[in-house]
Structure 1
Amino acid sequence: MNPIVDFFPILLFFIAYKFGDIYLATGVAMVGALLQIAYAKFILKRVSVMLRVSLVVILVFGGLTLILHNPTFIKWKPTVLYWCMASTLAVSAWFFKRNLLTKVLSEQQINLPAPVWDTLNTAWVVFFACMGALNLYIAFNYPEATWVNFKAIWMTVIFVLFGIGQAVFLARYIKEEPEAERTAPQNTLSNIKESKAPEA
């Protein structure tokens, strides 16, 4: 999924808040999350686990925010999502010896030694845990508008920077087509022609 679609509900949340209040922004973000799922399902033909979890969390905490008219729930939403992801990665790797990142990154032609997979998984666990804690700190120690700006802008910036750092780290492990493989079909064709050449 492309970044515009990934951050679509956050963008709608930010815009709606600027023209309304936290409750309007919450409702709009919930609709945006539903549209995001629909796009992934019917256009991309694939809905990731994280996208499903994110939808459930925004519907539950967004719904509580609107029903109880209490913005505390929507402020907790990012933290709950990030800590769910951190817990899932940690429990899967440390208790069940299954690194969930291997399934995602193996599709990108990335081949990593086992210790590197462990390091990468730990980095994501720590990152999600810290992001969840940072969200709570900003949400309950600064004005609501500051938290909205942090959630929509600075969280996005932090994720992008972390993604760039990860890309740099993984660059050395991305598979490149060996020179021998690229020339193999031509060499094979030449050998066939030579084998069929008439004897003098």
Structure 2
Amino acid sequence: MKQFIDFIPLILFFIVFKLDPLTVELAGHSVELGGIFSATAVLILASVVVYGTLLVLQRRLEKGQWLTLAACLLFGGMTLAFHSETFLKWKAPVVNWLFALGFLGSHFIGDKLLIQRMLGHAVQLPQQIWTRLNLAWVAFFLFSGSANLFVAFTYQEIWVDFKVFGSLGMTVLFLVAQGVYLARHMHDADTQDSKD
């Protein structure tokens, strides 16, 4: 569920991006809605609200959520400041590649792999399986970042659609595949425990 909370700002970004351009009066100011720049402003605002609410309710944010928020503020802010969507197009690839780097780095830094730190409290698996799973996350984030970059600069007319639905679809498919993989190995772990 919490993975999908991260998509709320992105979905709002998509909705505002797809609006026919219109001017709305808000607190005595005229606000333009529709298109990339108003959608970027909504993305920034929604990210601050979503992650701010999570911070208040949970009294903490995960490192990935901090990274996502910082990237949104940086790339979204640069998009608005320089009035160029190029900066926003780099956000998804950079964030995905930083996540890949984090998962890969956990092979060399710390006593547990990143995926093991995330799921180890709920699942018992042999170290070899944790390693494969962690490397699968590295591959997923590398692929996701590369796919986002390719679409953003090759198919500019659909990059926003891909950013929302492509990213969400890839994430759902990967999580389902991970669930199937884990279910198979959890069954093996149960069988191994009953033999002991």
Short-chain TM bin: 0.7 to 0.9
How big is the shift at 1:170? 0.9
Stretch of structure 1 that moved more, 38-47 or 28-37? 38-47
Query: CA separation in 1, counterparts of 2:101 and 2:74?
Result: 19
Which residue of structure 1 lines up, in the alignment, with residue 147 of structure 2?
A: 134
How big is the shift at 1:95? 5.6
How big is the shift at 1:56? 0.4
Which residue of structure 2 lines up, in the alignment, with residue 146 of structure 1?
A: 158
Which residue of structure 1 lines up, in the alignment, with residue 65 of structure 2?
A: 51
Query: CA separation in 2, counterparts of 1:41 and 1:97?
Result: 27
Query: CA separation in 2, counterparts of 1:72 and 1:98?
Result: 37
Which residue of structure 2 lines up, in the alignment, with residue 85 of structure 1?
A: 99
| Alignment-mate amino acid for residue 26 of structure 1 | T
The one of 117, 127, 132 aligned to 1:114:
127
Query: CA separation in 1, counterparts of 2:118 and 2:94?
Result: 22
Q: Does 1:69 align with 2:83?
A: yes
Q: Does 1:39 align with 2:53?
A: yes
Query: CA separation in 2, counterparts of 1:67 and 1:80?
Result: 19
Query: CA separation in 2, counterparts of 1:7 and 1:58?
Result: 12
Query: CA separation in 1, counterparts of 2:84 and 2:174?
Result: 32
Query: CA separation in 2, counterparts of 1:100 and 1:112?
Result: 14
The one of 29, 33, 38 aligned to 1:24:
38
Higher helix share: 1
**Aligned CA-pair RMSD:** 2.0
Query: CA separation in 2, counterparts of 1:122 and 1:3?
Result: 19
Q: Secondary structure at the match of 1:35?
A: helix
How big is the shift at 1:46? 3.6
Superposition pairs for residues 187-198 of structure 1, below 5 Å?
Answer: none
| Alignment-mate amino acid for residue 7 of structure 2 | F
Is the contact between residue 144 and residue 170 of structure 2 (CA under 8 Å) also seen in structure 1?
no
TM-score, normalising length from structure 1?
0.81
User: Per the alignment, do residues 97 and 2 of structure 1 end up closer, same or farther by CA in structure 2, a change over 3 Å counting?
Assistant: closer
How big is the shift at 1:91? 1.8
Which residue of structure 2 lines up, in the alignment, with residue 182 of structure 1?
A: none
Q: Percent identity?
A: 36
Which residue of structure 2 lines up, in the alignment, with residue 193 of structure 1?
A: none
User: Per the alignment, do residues 84 and 3 of structure 1 end up closer, same or farther by CA in structure 2, a change over 3 Å counting?
Assistant: closer
Query: CA separation in 2, counterparts of 1:132 and 1:97?
Result: 27
| Alignment-mate amino acid for residue 126 of structure 2 | P
Which residue of structure 1 lines up, in the alignment, with residue 7 of structure 2?
A: 7
TM-score, normalising length from structure 2?
0.83
Paired positions, count? 175
Higher strand share: 2
User: Per the alignment, do residues 130 and 12 of structure 1 end up closer, same or farther by CA in structure 2, a change over 3 Å counting?
Assistant: same
Query: CA separation in 2, counterparts of 1:97 and 1:103?
Result: 9
Which residue of structure 1 lines up, in the alignment, with residue 176 of structure 2?
A: 164
